[in-house]
Amino acid sequence: MTNDAALSSEAVAFADRIGELLTTIRSAEAELGALLVEIEQRGVMELFGYRSAARLLEHLADEPKPTVERLVKRARLVNPGRNLDGSPIPALAPATGVAARAGRLSDRMIDVITGVLAQVPVEHRLSAEANLLTFAEEAGHKQVAALGARILAHLAPDGTAPDDTEPSVPTRELFLRRKRTGIWELSGRFDDETGTRANTLLDALAERRTGDDGPDFRTTPQRYGDAFSDAVDLALDSPDLPMQAGERAHVMVAVSLEDLKSGVGKATLGDTGTMTAAEARVHACDAMIIPAVLGEKSEPLNLGRLRRLISAGLRRALFLRDRGCAFPGCHRPPRHCQGHHIRHVRHEARVYPIGGARPPTLDRHSGSVKLRAA
């Protein structure tokens, strides 16, 4: 016997042995699935104390949960079962179950056949299964899947009938929480339409801004973070924003008069947040201000009237004059800006201290008030 003949003989023997082992493995797995279906029908809780057959196999076989769940699901499709009242549940693919227990089908082949039969009308299911099994004796699962697609196209050439039910409620979930460090975390899930609209909005606001100081070196996450902040500002400035407790939605900032004047110290932001007094002083130029006098125990002794330093008329005049942000190199449009004093309000001779103040007037010559990006 030549070497080539000896190698060929060994290869055939190895291939035959592999086939025998695969048949044994597939047959044993199919019988295991049938046994698990039988245990489910008899009551896995009563017999073993487990909530499901999958949990039982997960413990006995020391296999991961997804693996055993796929095995049990596959077994239910090819083995008959019973309802709680004892009525029989016919198998989706009984002939496939017989071939599986004989060790002739791989798991992938079983999944392909049952996947096709689940879409075939009941009256054609028996003949379709026979055709698929006959072809599976000589072909692989990909070829059987192609045959299944042709069978479905022949039985339903126009596709699935349209659903006359009402459109489903879109998926929209948002989670926003504040950490103890003062950093807020945002996550969520949205339907395709909402996600596309949000992406379009943020894309427009996140464009790089090249100004007189040079190129924009912000990273992509930084630009989109700034874009989200800008989107929140635009929403809060919208006249269509719903009322909240009888007022427009707003964020309350509390800061002492001394800290507001000096810009040194902390201000309370909302319920639990904080910001520096310098930041509060910047926002105070274009905010609604209510001066309050508190006692030793923080009890309100006197509460002044609401006053906006930058009036609506002054804001419109600033829009007409400045046409956008007045900061060198910044080209944001007026709707992204707030009114601010070039020299702080406490340095303006024409502006009185907060409490009995009248709004500043627009001075075209000295330019005491300018639009600045929010």
Domain ranges for the chain, please list them. Answer: 1-155, 188-207+220-237, 248-308, 309-354+362-373
Q: How confident is the model at residue 27 (pLDDT cuts 50, 70, 90)?
A: very high
User: Which position has the higher pLDDT, 187 or 274?
Assistant: 187
pLDDT of residue 304: 53
pLDDT of residue 233: 80
Residue 139 has pLDDT above 80, yes or no: yes
The three-class DSSP label of residue 254 is strand
Would you say the pTM of this structure is higher than 0.75? no
Q: Which of 278, 254, 284, 282 is nearest to 268 (CA)?
A: 254
Q: How many helices (H) and strands (E) would you count in the chain?
A: 13, 15
The three-class DSSP label of residue 168 is coil
pLDDT of residue 6: 66
User: Which position has the higher pLDDT, 20 or 336?
Assistant: 20
Structure tokens at 230: 């800008």
Mean pLDDT of 201-211: 85
Structure tokens at 209: 């801004």
Q: What is the pLDDT of residues 309-337, one digit of tens each?
A: 566 666 667 766 776 777 766 766 766 66
- Per the CB < 8 A criterion, the answer to whether 324 and 361 are in contact is no
Q: What is the pLDDT of residues 31-73, one digit of tens each?
A: 999 999 999 888 888 899 888 899 999 999 999 989 999 999 9
Compute the distance between CA of residue 46 and CA of residue 53 in angstroms, rounded to an integer: 12
SS (H, E, C) 306-367: CEECCCHHHHHHHHHHHCCCCCCCCCCCHHHEEEEECCCHHHCCCCCCCCCCCCCCCCCCCC
Count of alpha carbons within 13 Å of 120, Cβ hemisphere only? 26
Across all residues in the chain, what is the average pLDDT?
A: 77
Compute the distance between CA of residue 162 and CA of residue 179 in angstroms, rounded to an integer: 47
Compute the distance between CA of residue 164 and CA of residue 166 in angstroms, rounded to an integer: 7
Structure tokens at 16: 């035959």
